[in-house]
């Protein structure tokens, strides 16, 4: 994957089809990241301090930490 990453707390950085790294609710303590492709954006706000919540194409839901460009 490319080394260039965008911040996952800003909604305009994220679009369906983009590859992202998310942290799922059950991995918040460990900080384990899951990589995948965005299917849907679940957060309506323009920003969120903990990351925009998305659903990946695999069905996993979590908050975006990094967006690959």
3 state DSSP class of 19: strand
pLDDT tens digits for 50-68? 999 999 999 999 999 999 9
The rounded distance, in Å, linking the Cα atoms of 35 and 23 is: 9
pLDDT tens digits for 6-58? 999 999 999 999 999 999 999 999 999 999 999 999 999 999 999 999 999 99
Domain-wise residue ranges, the chain: 5-68
**Structure letter (DSSP) for residue 15:** -
Residue 54 structure tokens = 């998305």
Topology (CATH) of 5-68: SH3 type barrels. (2.30.30)
pLDDT at 8: 95
Q: What is this structure's pTM?
A: 0.92
């Amino acid at each position: 994957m490319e080394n260039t990453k965008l911040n996952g707390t800003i909604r305009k950085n994220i679009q369906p089809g983009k590859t992202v790294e998310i942290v799922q609710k059950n991995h918040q303590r460990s900080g384990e990241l899951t990589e995948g492709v965005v299917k849907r954006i679940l957060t309506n706000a323009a920003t969120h301090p903990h990351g925009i919540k998305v659903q990946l194409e695999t069905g996993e839901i979590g908050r975006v930490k990094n967006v690959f460009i």
